Structure 1
Amino acid sequence: MLWETISVVRDLPRLHEIASVMIRYGWGDLVRVLGISGVLERAGRILHWHSTSEISQLEAPVRIRRALEELGPTFVKLGQLLATRVDMFPPHWIVEFEKLHSQVPPVPYEALHADLVAAIKGEPGEVFASFDPIPLAAASIAQVYRATLKDGTPVVIKIRRPGIENVIKADLRILEHIARLLDSEMPDSRRYDPIHIVAQFGRSLNRELDLAKEARNIDQFARHFADDPLVKIPKVFWAFSNSRVNVQEEIIGKSGVSPDKLREVGLDPKLLAARGADLVLRMVLEHGYFHADPHPGNVLFLADNRIGMIDFGMVGMLTHARRNQIVDLLHALTAKDEQALLQVLVDWSGDSVLDEDRLAYDVAELMQSYDDLQLKDVQVGALLNDITALMRENNLALPADLTLLFKTLITLEGLGQQLDPEFHMIDHVTPFVERIIHQRFTPQALLARGRKSLRETLEVLADVPRDLRTLLRDMRRGRVKIDLDLKRLDTFGQQLDRASNRLTMGILTASLVVGSSIIMTVQGGPQLLGLPFFGLLGFLIAFFNSLWILFSIWRSGKH
C-alpha cells in the first residue's frame, strides 16, 4: 500500500497537491487505482472529485500536458522525458509532450546573489569587468546571466534556482512510490518498466541539478572535438564553477533563423546542415557520447560555416556493444535487410514475452513498404518512428538508453530539413555505417577480437574446477538455493490478506450478533428505549461491521 511506502509525513502536502491537480484534469480514476486517495483521506486531507466542464472536453494528451505544466519543474521535465518515449506513446501524445518547455518567470537576482558570491569568491562587480544582473534566460532549474572577464572574454553564468533541489527531491520520492504501485497494480505497465524509467529520470534530473556535471560534460565534448576546427565548444572557467554555479565562454552566433537570413550574413545553410549531421553522427557512432537536446536554440551557426553547441545539461551515452547494435540497425535499414533488422529487435526485446513470428511478419511488412523508395528518399525520422510503432504494437519497450538517441536523430533530421529542403539524413548515415562495418573486418580488428575471445575462453576453462568445487561444497552444506519468480504472487498475497481480514470481521460480526441476542434475553442492567443497552450496542456495532464488509466487497469488485 502507498501508505506504507510514503517515507516521510512532509511529502503529504505535495502528494495532496499532485492528486488535486490530477483529479481536476480528469485523472481521478488513476488516483483511486493507485490508492493515493485512501492515503490522503486517512491523513485527514479531503479531495474534491470534480473537474470543470471546460477541462473535461479536452483530449487526454492535452489534459495530461496541462496537468504536468501546473505541477511544476519536476513534472515538466518528466513530460520532456516522455516525449522521447516514442515506443510508449502514439504520435499525437508525443506532439503534446513536446510542447512542454522549461521557461519560467525569473526569480529576483537578490535571491541568487549569495550563491554567486560564494562560487566566484567575491562580488560580481569586483571579479568581472562587467556583470549584467538582468537574466539572459530563466529556466526551471537555473538562470543565465551575461558577464565579461577581466581579460575581455565574454562569458555566461548559469546559477541554480534557490530551493529547487528540495522540491525536486520530494517529487522524485513520490514518483518512485507511484512507479512501484504502477508495477504492482497495473500488469500492462510492466513491459515499460516504470520503476526503471523513474530511476533513469531521477539520475538525469540530479545530473541537471549539478551544474559542475554539465561543466564536465562540456570539457568531455571539447576533448572529443579538439582537433576539429569546424566545431566550437565553450570553454569552462573552473575557478568560478561549482555544483550551484558554472561560468562558461559565451558563443555568439545565429540560431533558429531562416536559411535566407543565414545567407544574408554570408553563411551556407546547405553546408551547415551537412556539417551538423556529420557532427552528431560522430558523437553517436564514434564517441558514444552525444548532445541529447540539439534543438535550434542549442545549435549556433558561426562565421566560416562553423557550428557551435551550448547547453550540455542533457547528454546521452552508449556502450560499445550498443553502438554496434545501432550500426547493425542502420546498416539493415540502408540495405533493406529484414533478417538483420529482426535480429536487432529480438536482441532489444530483453526479457519481454515475444511472438517472434508476428514480429518477423511486421518487420517484413515494414521493409516492403519502403521497397519502392530510392535510398535517398528514405527519411530516417519517419523510419525510426515506424520501428518504434512496430515495437509498441508487439508489446516491446525500446531500451532506455536508445530513447534519447532516437529522439536526437529525429530532431536532427528536422533541423537539417529546415536549413536545406533537399537534406537527406540517409546520405550522411550510409558513409558512417559503411566505414564502421569495414573497420570491423580489417585484419587488425579480427585479430583483436580473436585474442579477446581466446583469452575469455581460457579464463572460463581455468575457472571451471574451482567453480565445480565451490558448487559441490555448497551442495554438501545445504547452501544451494533455487529462486522461483512467481508472477503476481505479491498481488495474490495482498488479495489473500484482504480476504482474511474480511473473513475475520465476518466472524466477529456473527459473534456480536449471537452474543447480543443472548444479552437481549437477560433481565436487568442498563436499558435504552426499553431494550438492554449492551445488547443494542452489540447489534449496532455488528450493523456497521456488516456495512464495512459489504462496501469492501463492492469496492474490490470494481477493481
Structure 2
Amino acid sequence: MLKETLIAMRDLPRMKEISGVLIRHGLGEFAERLRLPRAMEVAGEWLHLRKSDTAETTPTSVRVRQALEELGPTFIKLGQILSTRVDVFAPHWIAEFEKLQNNVPPIDPALLPELLHSALGAPPEALFARFEATPIGSASIAQVHRAVLHDGRAVAVKLRRPGIVEKVQADLRILSHLATVLEAEFPDARRFQPQEIVRQFTRSMTREMDLEIEARNMERFARDFAGDEHVTVPGVHWQYTNPMVNVQDFIEGVPGCRIDQLASMGLDPADMARHGADAVLKMILINGFFHADPHPGNVIFQPGPRIAFVDFGMVGRLSHARRDEIVDLLAALAQHDERAMMDALIEWTGSKQIDEAQFATDIGELVFAYEHVPLKNLRISQLIGEIMELIRNHSILLPADLAMLFKALITLEGLGRQLDPDFLLIEHLTPFVRRLVRARLHPANLLKRSRHTLGETLSMLSSLPRGMARLSKDMRQGKFSVNLDLKRLDSFARQLDRSANRLTMGIVTGALIIGSSIVMTVNAGPRLFGLPFLGLFGFLIAMLNGLWLIASIWRSGKQY
C-alpha cells in the first residue's frame, strides 16, 4: 500500500491519465485489478469516467491497441515490442499491435536551433551548409532532418525529442509497478512473465533513446557487410554524433513501401527480394547481429542493385550457441526428426516444467503435417506460426532474442512476397543451413569444440573436491539450507496479510472509540462545540478507519 501511495504521488497526473484511457476503452475492470483507481483514491483523486459506447462491441485486442495509441510514445513502443512476441500473443493480437504507428507532431521548428546548439555546441548554420527545418520523418523518440555539410555531403540528422527521456522514464516506472501487480492479481499471467517483459522493454527503450548506441550498431553492420556489393549501410559522422543527435549519410533511393517505383529505376523486384533475403539471413545465421525490424519503411532500394538498411535502433543479437540451436531445429524439421526437434524446443523453455509426453505428441503431429510438403510450397511464416501456436499452448516463453528473430523472419517473408509473389524464404534459408552444418562438421571446428568440451570437463572435475568440501563444511556448521519456492501459496499469503492488516486496523479503531468515549467524560482540555476536542478527534479518526475497513472489504469481495 505504501508503494502504491508513493508511485501515485510521484506520477499522479500520468496515473490518472492511464486510468481514464483504460476506462474509456472498456478496460475498467483491468484498471481496477491493477489498482489504478485505488492509487487515485490514496492520492485524493476520484475518477468519474465512463467507457465509450462502442467499447462493448469492439474486440478486446482492438481496444487495447486503441488505448496504447492514446497513451502515447512509450506505450506505442511497448505495443510494437509486444508485436514481436509471437510466442505469447495469438495472430489477431499481433496483427493489432502491428498497426501501432507513431503519429506524433514534429518538434516546433522554433526550438530546433536551441536543441542543436545544446546537442552539438553550435547553431545549425555553423554546423551545416543547409539544414531543412521540415523533418522527413517524425517518430516518438526522434525525428530526422535532411542537411548538407559544408563539404557538400548530404546527411540525415536524427534529433532526439526534448523531454522524451523524463517522460519515458516516468512511464517505465509505472509499467514496472503495473507488471508487478499484474503477476500478483492475475495468476494466469505469471506464465508470460510480465515483469521480465517490462525489464526487456526498459533495456530496449533505454538503448533506443541513446542515439550514439544506434550509431555504433550502424558501424557494426557496416563492418559485417564491408565489400558486399549488394548492401549499403549509412556511414556515421562521429564529430556530430552523441546520445542526443545522430548524423549519418543520407540514403537516396526507392523506399520499400514504394515498390511501384522500382521499374522506373530499372530494378527487378524479384532480384531485390533475393538480395534482401540473403542480406538478412547473413545477419542472422552468419554474423549473429541482425536488424530486428526490416519492414518496408526501413529498407531503401538503390541502383546496382543495392539494398540499404536504415533505423538501427532495434537490433537483435544471437550467440554462437543460439545459432547452433536454430540450425539444429531447422535440420530436425527437414529430416522429420521429432526427437531432435523436441530437444531443440525444450532447450528454449529454460527452467519451466512442461508435459513432455503431450509436447512430443504435438510435435509429432506438426512434423507429420509437413512430411510430404514440397519445398516450393513451404512458407516460413506459416511454419513459424504453427510452432508458436504449439509453444503458446504449452505456456512456453521464448527468450527475447528468439522472439525478435522469428518476428524478423515473418516480416522479411512478407516484404519478399510484396516484391515477388513467388518469393519463398525457405529457398534462400536452405543454402545457409547446409553451409552452417558443413562448417560445424569440418575437422578443424570439431577439434576446436572437442578441446573446449575437454577443458570444461577438466575444470569441473578439478573444482568438484573443493565444492564437496565446502558443502560438507556448511552442513557441519549448520549453514546448509533448502529454499522452496511455493508459488501456489502466494495468493494465500497476500490474503492473510490483508486480513492481518484489517484485524489490526479494527483493533486500533475499537481502542480509539473506547478511549474517545472516556475522554468525552473529562471536563478538561480544549473544547469544540462544547465537547472535548480530543474526544471528537478520536471519534473522527475511528470513523475514517471504519470507512477504510468497509471499502477494503468491499473491494476484496469484488476481486474474489
Return closer, same or farther for 1:546/1:241 CA change in 2, 3 Å cut-off: closer
Deviations 1:353-384 (A, max 9, x none): 30111111111222222234211211001110
1:231-246 → structure 2 map (5 Å cutoff): 231-246=231-246
Deviations 1:318-366 (A, max 9, x none): 1211111111122223333322221122111222230111111111222
1:78-477 → structure 2 map (5 Å cutoff): 78-256=78-256, 261-477=261-477
Opposite residue 265 of structure 2, the aligned amino acid is V
Task: Find the counterpart in structure 1 of residue 76 from structure 2.
Answer: 76
* In structure 1, distance between residues paired with 2:7 and 2:538: 39
Deviations 1:383-428 (A, max 9, x none): 1011111111111122222111111000000111111111111101
Q: Secondary structure at the match of 2:86?
A: coil
Return closer, same or farther for 1:127/1:551 CA change in 2, 3 Å cut-off: closer
Task: Find the counterpart in structure 1 of residue 492 from structure 2.
Answer: 492
* In structure 2, distance between residues paired with 1:447 and 1:130: 58
Task: Find the counterpart in structure 2 of residue 530 from structure 1.
Answer: none
* In structure 2, distance between residues paired with 1:325 and 1:166: 40
Opposite residue 424 of structure 1, the aligned amino acid is L
* In structure 2, distance between residues paired with 1:225 and 1:49: 55
Return closer, same or farther for 1:475/1:422 CA change in 2, 3 Å cut-off: same
Return closer, same or farther for 1:128/1:545 CA change in 2, 3 Å cut-off: closer
* In structure 2, distance between residues paired with 1:106 and 1:519: 66
Opposite residue 477 of structure 2, the aligned amino acid is R
Q: What is the CA-CA distance between 1:509 and the residue it aligns to?
A: 7.3
Deviations 1:156-210 (A, max 9, x none): 0000010111000000000001111112222211111111100110111111100
* In structure 2, distance between residues paired with 1:143 and 1:39: 35
Opposite residue 426 of structure 1, the aligned amino acid is I
Q: What is the CA-CA distance between 1:452 and the residue it aligns to?
A: 0.7
Task: Find the counterpart in structure 2 of residue 30 from structure 1.
Answer: 30
Task: Find the counterpart in structure 2 of residue 18 from structure 1.
Answer: 18
Return closer, same or farther for 1:304/1:558 CA change in 2, 3 Å cut-off: same
Task: Find the counterpart in structure 2 of residue 558 from structure 1.
Answer: 558
* In structure 2, distance between residues paired with 1:510 and 1:146: 72
* In structure 2, distance between residues paired with 1:5 and 1:491: 22
* In structure 2, distance between residues paired with 1:514 and 1:239: 75
* In structure 2, distance between residues paired with 1:483 and 1:156: 55
Q: Secondary structure at the match of 1:145?
A: strand
Return closer, same or farther for 1:540/1:316 CA change in 2, 3 Å cut-off: closer
Asked if the contact 2:22/2:67 (under 8 Å) is kept, the reply is yes
Q: Secondary structure at the match of 2:131?
A: strand
Asked if the contact 1:191/1:352 (under 8 Å) is kept, the reply is no
RMSD (Å) for aligned C-alpha atoms: 3.2
* In structure 2, distance between residues paired with 1:516 and 1:143: 64
* In structure 2, distance between residues paired with 1:259 and 1:271: 12
* In structure 2, distance between residues paired with 1:193 and 1:407: 19
Q: What is the CA-CA distance between 1:55 and the residue it aligns to?
A: 3.4
Q: What is the CA-CA distance between 1:90 and the residue it aligns to?
A: 1.4
Q: What is the CA-CA distance between 1:9 and the residue it aligns to?
A: 2.7
Q: Secondary structure at the match of 2:276?
A: helix
* In structure 2, distance between residues paired with 1:149 and 1:538: 74
Segments of 5+ residues of structure 2 without an aligned counterpart are 525-533
* In structure 2, distance between residues paired with 1:307 and 1:393: 38
Asked if the contact 2:114/2:123 (under 8 Å) is kept, the reply is no
Deviations 1:214-264 (A, max 9, x none): 000000000101121211111000011111011000110112356553133
Q: Secondary structure at the match of 2:487?
A: coil
Return closer, same or farther for 1:81/1:359 CA change in 2, 3 Å cut-off: same
Return closer, same or farther for 1:536/1:409 CA change in 2, 3 Å cut-off: closer
Asked if the contact 1:6/1:174 (under 8 Å) is kept, the reply is no
Q: Secondary structure at the match of 1:157?
A: strand
* In structure 1, distance between residues paired with 2:507 and 2:223: 74
Asked if the contact 2:147/2:156 (under 8 Å) is kept, the reply is yes
Asked if the contact 1:334/1:375 (under 8 Å) is kept, the reply is no
Asked if the contact 1:131/1:148 (under 8 Å) is kept, the reply is yes
* In structure 1, distance between residues paired with 2:499 and 2:392: 37
* In structure 1, distance between residues paired with 2:296 and 2:231: 16
Q: Secondary structure at the match of 1:290?
A: strand
Opposite residue 329 of structure 2, the aligned amino acid is L
Return closer, same or farther for 1:468/1:351 CA change in 2, 3 Å cut-off: closer
Deviations 1:279-329 (A, max 9, x none): 001100111110011111111111111111111111011121111111112
* In structure 1, distance between residues paired with 2:495 and 2:5: 18
Q: What is the CA-CA distance between 1:7 and the residue it aligns to?
A: 4.8
Q: What is the CA-CA distance between 1:119 and the residue it aligns to?
A: 3.9
Task: Find the counterpart in structure 1 of residue 530 from structure 2.
Answer: none
Asked if the contact 1:2/1:181 (under 8 Å) is kept, the reply is no
Q: What is the CA-CA distance between 1:479 and the residue it aligns to?
A: 3.0
* In structure 2, distance between residues paired with 1:317 and 1:18: 33
- Alignment length (residue pairs): 557
* In structure 2, distance between residues paired with 1:539 and 1:420: 79
Q: Secondary structure at the match of 1:26?
A: coil
* In structure 2, distance between residues paired with 1:46 and 1:28: 14
Q: What is the CA-CA distance between 1:31 and the residue it aligns to?
A: 1.5
Q: Once structures 1 and 2 are overlaid, which stretch shifts more, 477-486 or 501-510?
A: 501-510
Return closer, same or farther for 1:2/1:399 CA change in 2, 3 Å cut-off: farther
Asked if the contact 1:86/1:94 (under 8 Å) is kept, the reply is yes
Opposite residue 556 of structure 1, the aligned amino acid is S
Asked if the contact 1:112/1:161 (under 8 Å) is kept, the reply is no
Q: Secondary structure at the match of 1:304?
A: coil
Q: Secondary structure at the match of 1:63?
A: helix
Asked if the contact 2:83/2:98 (under 8 Å) is kept, the reply is yes
Asked if the contact 2:254/2:261 (under 8 Å) is kept, the reply is no
Asked if the contact 1:112/1:162 (under 8 Å) is kept, the reply is no
Opposite residue 399 of structure 2, the aligned amino acid is P
* In structure 1, distance between residues paired with 2:550 and 2:179: 30
Q: What is the CA-CA distance between 1:443 and the residue it aligns to?
A: 0.8
Opposite residue 432 of structure 1, the aligned amino acid is F
Return closer, same or farther for 1:317/1:542 CA change in 2, 3 Å cut-off: closer
* In structure 2, distance between residues paired with 1:151 and 1:548: 71
Task: Find the counterpart in structure 1 of residue 45 from structure 2.
Answer: 45
Asked if the contact 1:330/1:429 (under 8 Å) is kept, the reply is no
Q: What is the CA-CA distance between 1:514 and the residue it aligns to?
A: 9.6
Q: Secondary structure at the match of 1:53?
A: coil
Asked if the contact 2:257/2:297 (under 8 Å) is kept, the reply is no
